[in-house]
Amino acid sequence: MDIPVGLTDGVAIAVQGDVVNVGTPDIRADGVTLIEDVIRGDQSTISMSTSFPNGTVFYTTDGSDPSFAATPYLGAFVITQSTTIRAIAYSVDFSQAAESGPFRVQIVPTYSLAKAVGGRGMVAAFPDLLRYISGATVTVLATPAAG
């Protein structure tokens, strides 16, 4: 059973089963911590962090094993194609390491829905969003004007 991240002596920890993983990289898609694969429309902003004080995070976007030879995380980045992300964090002296992932961030196209009324009345869409992910279910309600 997974237990949410907590604090021990000011250092964040992640508990998975009976194993405490100090420093496990926190991989976020659009600000939401990944705990499973996700679907995003058009693009996603990926950010990462570690609880190792002054630790370093390295990552891969092809699903391969991360190591200190992988891409160093220097700041948030945007993906526009489906990507499998894995990360490894090292303590400042590289004596400790913790991994996170793989997480698949699937990017799918989005579409706008044009609503127009040819006279009086109203057209509403539920949910009322600016853009919809491909395959989304939208209910459209047309209400005529009184009279």
- pLDDT (tens digit, 9 = 90+) per residue, 10-25? 444 455 555 547 899 9
Q: For residue 2, is pLDDT > 70?
A: no
Identify the CATH number of the domain defined by range 2-108.
2.60.40.10
Number of Cβ within 10 Å of residue 120's Cβ equals: 9
Predicted local confidence at residue 12, as pLDDT: 47
Residue 64: partners with Cβ closer than 8 Å, 6 or more residues away: 70, 86
Predicted local confidence at residue 121, as pLDDT: 87
Strands (E), 23-63: 26-29, 32-33, 38-41, 44-49, 56-60
Question: What pTM value is reported for the model?
Answer: 0.74
Span 25-78, pLDDT tens digits: 999 999 999 999 999 999 999 999 999 999 999 999 999 999 989 999 999 999
The domain segmentation of the chain, as residue ranges, is 2-108, 110-144
Span 92-134, pLDDT tens digits: 999 999 999 999 999 999 999 888 887 788 898 999 888 888 8
